[in-house]
Amino acid sequence: MAGMRADLNEPGCRHIIFRPMPPEIQSHVKYYNEPPYGKAGIFWEKEYGQFTMNVTMPVGNYAMVFVPGDGRSNITESGKDFVNHLHIQ
């Protein structure tokens, strides 16, 4: 449900993929761990028709983040409209 996994092609968890799959009955999920380079994790919640997601990554590492949605949702990052590098699946 958290949707966090290491990219097996990158040793030491340098690249992490976040792809949460929130089920209808779950309102929130929180998952963190300590890969070799620092704390990584995700917290997401659904409340009042809104989906909020916070991702934590160690400095110097990188992530691919998939945002669940129907392609018509208004997506923001840090309160600003997010249109760059957006790929909806």
User: Greater confidence, 22 or 11?
Assistant: 22
pTM summary value: 0.79
> Residue 87's pLDDT is what?
45
**Average pLDDT score over residue span 22-39:** 90
CATH number 2.60.120.10 given to 4-81: no
Neighbours of 53 (CB within 10 A): 19
> Residue 84's pLDDT is what?
53
Pick from 8, 30, 25: nearest CA to 17: 8
> Residue 40's pLDDT is what?
93
* Cβ–Cβ < 8 Å for 59, 14: no
Quick: pLDDT tens for 41-87.
999 999 988 889 999 999 989 999 888 877 767 777 777 777 655 44
Domain range annotation of the chain: 4-81
> Residue 28's pLDDT is what?
94
